[in-house]
Structure 1
Amino acid sequence: MKTWREIAELTGFSGEALQELEETEKQARGNLSKDGNLQQILKNLTDPFCWEDARKGLKNLLQTDKKGMNMLLCMLTACGYTYEKYENLGISEEIFAETMKCFWRFVQEHQVSYGCYGFDRDFWTGRQLSLQLFRLGELEYEMCTQKEKKTIAVHIPSDADISSEKVQESLHQTREFFERYYPNYRQAPYTCESWLLSPALKDLLPPNSRILNFQALFEVDKVHWESDAVLEWVFQKRGNSLEELPEDTSLQRKMKAYLLDGGKVGEAFGYLKA
């Protein structure tokens, strides 16, 4: 079974973040090793039916974990069990690595938002650990059930290239993936819920923008105007006053002015067009 460090190196961790994880392990080793249930909790993180309860149990076990690095260490350790499941299914190490790079991406995003390395996405990464969500090309795909109907939710990582060519490559790869490994999902409709689908963006972006081209792939079903998702995904901030939002990109400048003028972006839910 691969160690947490092997997983970390495979998925891009380096420098100060890797050193911080090593220091976290030294400090936590004694306390965590005393709990005989830890390994079972880590295994349960890789079970689609158990991971949420396992995460709660782990948070209770860790108690004080201010920056989330102990949780990150535990989840990277659990990745060893996930790696074995990939091997048993015959899914490539490349897909494993691309999927689990979410951990390093989230740590980097924490550093951008708060000025230090940390991990606060444990509420999300059980999906990757339990083989419910895979990164295939530029996009991520999650097997879901909505009203007893199988669906595949499309997620857009913050580092994704959503040019038309890359998106089509990803969708093609995904259809082959589910046909081969999860054939009971091969006919499932694709859904997406994201600020990228907001109708408001048509007033903020040029007609040939990559975002609008991506948006055009979906038939919007619902719009949630009160969502503040753009504060995190566009401005890398949450809870700040609008006046303090950065203006480093043209989209940030246009969107900030739009929000200050009372406009709403929100997010929308839609289905991939046939």
Structure 2
Amino acid sequence: MLPEADELAEALLDLGVPYEDIDEAVRLSRRLPDDTEALRLLEETVRELVPETAGTGETGVAGRSATEGILGSIELPELPDAAGPHARYFPLYVFAAALPRARARHRARGIPEPVSRLTLADVGRCVALHRRRHGTGGVLNAGWPTLHFRGELYQLGRLQFQRTRIGGRTGDLLAAAGLPVGPGDPALALHVPDFMGPLTPGAVDRSLALAREFFPRHHPEEQYTVATCASWLLDPQFKRHLPGDSNIVRFQDRFRLGPPPAEPEDSVPVRFVFGTTDEPLDRLPRDTVLQRAVLDHLREGGHWFIGHGWLPL
């Protein structure tokens, strides 16, 4: 069930929700008891998001479930706009209600409390992104934090690491490199979240070192030998626009990159760098080297692509 107002505010703080959204979310939550359909969906979604048996099955090491597997994300249901203004915050209420279960799941795995706290606080980043892009409260890409609540993604320093399986594109790259892993084998998908400071080489080194220690200890039933990444940051064309010692170029140099996909994704770097795709390109700021690189490449008739790469762990 959803916590009472005082406890809800504390839960939202734990989830990293910006202060400017907490008052509104708590105030609108008072409408939920009168919305029987919303309450039913809330309870069902919490049970699906973090099943009660998660992390408490047959175990081999300190309460860690050996049969948990990789569950994947889920899509959270949406309330119709006719339900009222509290519909915008429905995913946030789901995460607040599921927070005790997610913490219990982490404890069953022996996840350190600081890692658990920083991981689940990614919900607040989705709230901040919603306000940044739409100017209102809400949760942008609400399916994303379900990975955190299901024990499949962890914040380790500057980077996030997702327990996943090698796909066909990366499998071809690994086969070409002669590695004895392929499609279906475990891999860590590496993600670079917003609002976490510069992507310095030192910060990346620290995150990779934390991951190499973290996963054998807390997910010993899975062997991770490679980390993969699919990101606009790995488009090798940035090397034509950025200095060789830039953080993005040095990040790219860690990976063995595959060929670019056939379809461009011009809007992706624009959205991440400028926070919007609604403004004409000639109205966007040109204050940083990266902003100028993204815009100049597009104005020259070029396209941006999602780069795919891997690195050994």
The answer to whether the superposition gives a TM-score over 0.5 is yes
Structure 1 stretch displaced more, 23-32 or 263-272: 23-32
The residue number in structure 1 matching 2:58 is: none
Please tell me whether residue 118 in structure 1 is matched to residue 138 in structure 2. yes
Matched, 1:15 2:19: yes
Query: How far is 1:11 from its partner?
Result: 3.5
**Partner residue of 1:29 out of 29, 33, 42:** 33
Residue of 235, 244, 248 corresponding to 2:274:
235
| SS in structure 2 at match of 1:68 | helix
CA drift at 1:176 = 0.9
What CA distance in whole angstroms lies between the structure 1 residues aligned with 2:113 and 2:215? 17
Distance 2:98 2:138 in 1: 18
* Aligned residue number for residue 80 of structure 2: 63
Query: C-alpha separation between the residues in 2 aligned to 1:96 and 1:21?
Result: 23
Pair 1:159 & 2:195 matched = yes
Match of 2:245 in 1: 208
Q: Deviations over 1:66-92 (max 9, x none)?
A: 773122221222222111111222212
Residue-pair matches, total:
269
Q: How does 1:1-274 map to 2 (within 5 A)?
A: 4-32=8-36, 35-36=39-40, 38-46=42-50, 49=71, 52=74, 55=76, 58-59=77-78, 62-64=79-81, 68-146=88-166, 147-160=183-196, 161-224=198-261, 226-227=264-265, 228-273=267-312
The 2-side partners of 1:262 and 1:50 are apart by 38
Secondary structure of the residue that 1:252 maps to in structure 2?
A: helix
Once residues 50 and 253 of structure 1 are traced to their aligned partners in structure 2, the CA distance between those partners, rounded to angstroms, is 37
More helix by share: 1
**Once the 2 structures are TM-superposed, how far is the Cα of residue 33 of structure 1 from its aligned partner?**
7.3
Structure 1 residues 37, 158: closer, same or farther in 2, change over 3 A? closer
Counterpart of 1:226, as a letter, is: P
Q: Cα offset for 1:273?
A: 4.4
Query: In 2, are the aligned partners of 1:44 and 1:50 still within 8 Å (CA)?
Result: no
User: For residues 170 and 203 of structure 1, do their structure 2 counterparts lie closer, same or farther at Cα, with a shift above 3 Å needed?
Assistant: same
Check conservation: 1:44, 1:51, Cα contact below 8 A: no
- Asked if structure 1 preserves the Cα contact closer than 8 Å seen for 2:73 and 2:144, the reply is no
TM-score, structure 1 normalization: 0.88
Amino acid at match of 1:73: Y
8 Å contact 2:12–2:96 — kept in the other structure? Answer: yes
Single out whichever of 69-78 and 188-197 deviates more from structure 2: 69-78
User: In 1, distance between residues paired with 2:227 and 2:116?
Assistant: 22
Distance 1:211 1:37, change over 3 A: closer
The CA distance in 2 between the partners of 1:176 and 1:39, in whole Å, is: 36
Query: Given the two structures, how large is their TM-score scaled by the length of structure 2?
Result: 0.78
Aligned-partner Cα distance in 2 for 1:75–1:51: 13
What's the % identity of the aligned pairs?
25
Query: How far did residue 7 of structure 1 move?
Result: 2.8
Three-state SS of the structure 2 residue aligned to 1:223 is coil
CA distance in 1, matches of 2:204, 2:38: 47
The more displaced of 192-201 and 252-261 is: 252-261
In terms of mean alpha carbon deviation, does 264-273 or 113-122 score higher? 113-122
Give the drift of 1:44. Answer: 1.0
Distance in 1 (alpha carbons) for counterparts of 2:72 and 2:187? 20
Query: Greater shift after overlay, 241-250 or 261-270?
Result: 241-250
Aligned residue type for 1:43: R
Distance 1:264 1:51, change over 3 A: closer
Deviations 1:33-53 (A, max 9, x none): 774463232121125648526
Structure 1 gap ranges (5+): none
Q: Which structure has the greater CA radius of gyration?
A: 2
Distance verdict in 2 for CA 1:115–1:27, change over 3 Å? same
